Amino acid sequence: MKSGKRLVIEAVTAPLVIWAFIWAWFYINPPHDISRDNFNTSWLLITVVSYFITLVIVALFVGRLLKKAGYRFEFRELPRVLNEVDPKIIGDSTRDIFNIVAMWGVFSTAVLAFGVKKGTIFTVAVYLVLSSIGLLLMISMLISVLGTALILYELLTGRRLSHSFEKALLLSLLSGAFLVLVRLMSGYPWAFNITVVRPLLKVCTDNYLCKNLLLLSALNALYGIIGILILPKRRRLGLLLLLIIALAIAPLLVKVFIQLHSL
């Protein structure tokens, strides 16, 4: 089995290699909004510096993860601890590490296309959209597709499977709360002067779409609550309720995608 240190190195290197290939392709065949002149020293400097900043963020993330698992160490001892730690602790979070570095690539590409100021604004806007609407849609898709399959399997076979109800509840509540906040902000003209939240404001000013997104968030949260409170006590009833919610999410999810596409 790979060591924790190797897992971290692979998780931070893989997106770097992927973005390097993408940028090489952009240089060979420049898109309409990126010219070869954009590949200059200032962009390279920003990319390198921001990558090292990202590595620091990853190190802090991994350090916090290990401390939550019970390890006690100084920050400079992190490489040694990673060699000794149970790889499963790191393995469960490699996707998060990958995503952190992937966002660095989004930022660097945005700077390449739009410049530092506009690129930073674009990156923050993308992050806000992904962490609210994108996260909500992802959870809804997992519940409606994977959740339905798992529930049916349990009902038909009687075998108990693992579900992540706590995460579904927490993330749904967070994304829903953020949408409510943006919805409240959309009632004030000054909010539209904040460039980074403008895409979200556009979504939340559509009453029907915003209502459906909040309904999705509520159904996802209800799914998590039933999984936490009812399922352990009354298994079959809990599974049936979860199945009803998962099936109710599917058509609503389709509506939301259609509405988002028509914006």
Q: Give the pLDDT confidence of 137-156 residue by residue, as tens digits.
A: 999 998 888 888 888 888 88
The model's pTM is 0.74
Residue boundaries of the structural domains of the chain: 4-114, 122-261
Length of the chain: 263
Confidence of residue 221 (pLDDT cuts 50, 70, 90): very high
Output the pLDDT for position 115: 83
97 against 160, higher pLDDT: 97
Output the pLDDT for position 176: 87
Confidence of residue 161 (pLDDT cuts 50, 70, 90): low
User: Which runs of consecutive H residues, i.e. helices, occur in 196-234?
Assistant: 198-204, 207-229
- The predicted-structure confidence for 51-93, as pLDDT tens digits, reads as follows 999 999 988 888 888 888 777 777 777 778 777 777 787 777 8
Output the pLDDT for position 214: 92
Output the pLDDT for position 50: 92
Whose tokens are 């959309």? That residue is 186
- The alpha carbon of 229 is separated from its chain's Cα centroid by a whole number of angstroms, namely 26
User: Which runs of consecutive H residues, i.e. helices, occur in 115-206?
Assistant: 116-129, 135-141, 148-157, 165-185, 198-204
